[in-house]
Chains A and B, each alone.
Chain A
């Protein structure tokens, strides 16, 4: 079965699964960034318990394998009184993992600013809120464009975990399984999914590089 035949027979499904992968990537990345910001605020707050909790949160979710987290969400949580749909489980897992790496990126963006700048800002009379708004956030956002682009691509790849739970429509990796169990597609199904992943990564990487060139801070 050639790539053409796979398209003729499963073209619609592939389109749906590509869109589903893109949508999940977007949702997970947005959710991961939001939660990552919360974790980062906790980690730089003046309250020691929140700092520790933020650090522990990040260490937990950046070190846990996504599959291990997924089986806890899918199989263990129903025993603990929370039954979520397969898609919700997947989205939650990827968001949690992505948020820990997002927080690490934000932290290194903040660390890159340098203590001297904060001291300088304070000496010209900026308030704490002004320092955060005018010095810390703009600079850390600009230095994290490239790492965040990589995280976005990593998010795309992590959504492949969706192949481990039944989803309709399946996402791109699940499609290889789906097609292979219904026909003798052989290598074609794999090639189509691979092209979708690689194409998306190339486009995202290109856009990220362009944005980074625009906003990068030359130190």
Chain B
């Protein structure tokens, strides 16, 4: 965010006394407007009786949090497993794509683009509705991790490829002139450096995975969202619960994002996301 500030400020000349006066008035008006907005939201809660302690008091009980934490552990388990699946699949797809074997390369290219252009929900329905029709039974855990992992693998394949492309060409040429094979160059020269470059991007991709796992209730896997739904029917407190859960998700994803920014800063690399790549 510090990078933004410099450009933000650069847009304006150093303010004179008149401008300063106007900025002060504008600041005051905008503060009033923001407070009015927040007051309106709180008032909506109040006049609809949603601030009633009966909707909030159970958050003081440890059992509530224990159940939510259990759901959160489910979310973490699903997200990490899906993340690992995505990393392995993404790496394999990328290695296939850069291999000198033409048919393999084309196949991996097509699969990568396919996974990138399908919504994870469609893949979840595929594992939830379609596969059982062919007599294959799998636990809810895999019905959510596999599709989420596959959906992310397409994006990760592109992230890995960007990492590989970031390794200077001269090194590959030098290795070739030493007579190293393609496999050996990839293994010893390119991959170790490429992996280091993409670590922050992998972390930031976890946010997408966590978001995708929130539909785990479709396959009735007990993640945070699903457990929150159970608590809602127990306590009959829908509004407060959905808001608290949303805040938990936002906090997790915000922390993950900040961590990846910190890693990128430390390594001196950039975060590659879906936004930076070439579209399909």
Interface residues of A (CB under 8 A from B): 43-44, 46-51, 53, 55, 59-60, 63-69, 71-72, 75-76, 79-82, 101, 104-105, 107, 110-111, 113, 115, 118-119, 122, 128, 131-132, 136, 146-147, 149-151, 153-154, 157-158, 160-161, 163-164, 172-173, 176-177, 180, 184, 186-187, 189-190, 193-194, 197-198, 200-202, 204-205, 208-209
Contact = CB atoms under 8 A, between A and B. Distances in A.
B253 A63 contact: yes
B62 interface: no
B8 A147 contact: no
Nearest to B254: A63
A194 B45 CA distance: 42
Interface string B161-188: 0000000000000000000000000000
Given A128-B12, A177-B125, 19 more contacts: A43-B8, A49-B31, A51-B8, A63-B257, A65-B214, A67-B225, A79-B50, A80-B48, A80-B50, A80-B239, A104-B275, A115-B6, A153-B280, A157-B120, A160-B122, A197-B118, A205-B279, A205-B280, A209-B278
A161 B211 CA distance: 12
Given A186-B133, A193-B122, A194-B122, A72 B4 contact: no
A72 B122 contact: no
The binding surface of chain B is classed by DSSP as: helix
7 contacts: A44-B8, A53-B34, A55-B1, A64-B253, A69-B246, A150-B275, A184-B133
- Interface-central residue, B1, B34, B44, B246, by most chain A CB under 10 Å: B246
A180 B129 CA distance: 7
B262 interface: no
Nearest to A131: B11
A48 B34 CA distance: 12
Contact of A122 (B13, B126, B275, B276): B13
B13 A49 contact: no
Contacts of A164: 121, 215, 218
Contact of A147 (B10, B31, B129, B276): B276
B239 A201 contact: no
Q: Closest 5 A-B residue pairs measured CB to CB?
A: A205-B279, A160-B119, A201-B117, A63-B253, A205-B280
Contact of A65 (B10, B44, B125, B249): B249
Interface stretch (B22-30, B91-99, B138-146, B193-201): B22-30
Contacts of A186: 130, 133-134
B207 interface: yes
B279 A149 contact: yes
B238 interface: yes
A71 B242 contact: yes
Contact of A136 (B11, B239, B276): B11
B245 interface: yes
Contact of B242 (A47, A49, A75, A158): A75
A202 B246 contact: no
Give the most central of B13, B114, B117, B215: most A CB within 10 Å.
B117
Contact of A72 (B6, B12, B243, B276): B243
A164 B217 CA distance: 11
B238 A110 contact: no
Contacts of B8: 43-44, 51
A132 B11 CA distance: 8
Contacts of B225: 65, 67-68, 71
B119 A79 contact: no
A176 B131 CA distance: 13
Interface in B1-54: 1, 3-4, 6-8, 10-13, 15, 23, 26-27, 30-31, 34, 44-45, 47-48, 50
B238 A76 contact: yes
B274 interface: yes
Given A67-B214, A107-B4, A153 B279 contact: yes
B267 interface: no
A176 B215 contact: no
B122 A197 contact: yes
A198 B3 contact: no
Contacts of A204: 279-280
Contacts of B118: 157, 194, 197-198
Nearest to B280: A205
Interface string B239-280: 100110110011001100100000000000000001111111
